[in-house]
Amino acid sequence: MSYLGVGISPGNVPVSHSMNVKVVDRRVRVAELVLRCVICGLGVLAAVLVGTDSQVREIFSVRKKAKYTDMKALVFLVIANGIAAAYSLMQVLRCVVSMIRGHVLFSKPLAWAIFSGDQVMAYLTVAAVAANAQSAVISKLGQPELQWMKICNMYGKYCNQIGEGIASALLVSLSMVAISCMSAFSLFRLYGGNKGKGSPRWW
């Protein structure tokens, strides 16, 4: 039976799911691009703030210079944020190329690779922040039971800059967790029924 006399019935009206996929994919890619740029910038900032921080104090006629290498957790923080920034820069380039070409991500191997990399970076940055949060509390409050002094009472400027670096690293870790959720969405969307019709692509 025709519909409104034009020979088209409701059952054969073409409905394209690929357009919806492209709209959602574009929004996700824009949000992903912004977050990866934030991670790249804040990761470099955190690494620079912690890596360049130092303060010299004279204690009992002995000059002691505090620097980030004195605490292994801070070394871990610098390395983790440096790796996260470099990884995010590579992903920013991929996102830009993908947006310029206008391709929807249909390649499962590439989606799995991105998902795995984002998961590793998320765990790495969260672990670095957690380790330094514990060290920061001990440095600020000390540990009377073990006769550990309040280091920040002697190295105030040093601790303040370290705190700024840890705050930047915290934002990096939160952004990385959000990115890992986006990459999980992009991956498992490919296994849904509405992933769109088209040949697999690498971008």
**Residue ranges per structural domain of the chain:** 20-189
Which amino acid does the sequence have at 99?
M
Q: What integer pLDDT is reported at residue 129 of this predicted model?
A: 94
Q: Look at residue 106 in the predicted model and tell me its pLDDT.
A: 64
- Kind of pairing between the strands at 62-67 and 54-59: antiparallel
CA dist., res. 152 & res. 129, Å (int): 18
Q: Which residues of the chain have pLDDT under 50?
A: 1-6, 8-11, 13-15, 194-203
pLDDT at res. 197: 44
φ, ψ at 159 (rounded to 5°): -70, -35
Among 170, 164, 132, 128, which residue's Cα sits nearest to residue 38?
170
Residue 39 · residue 172 · CB < 8 Å: yes
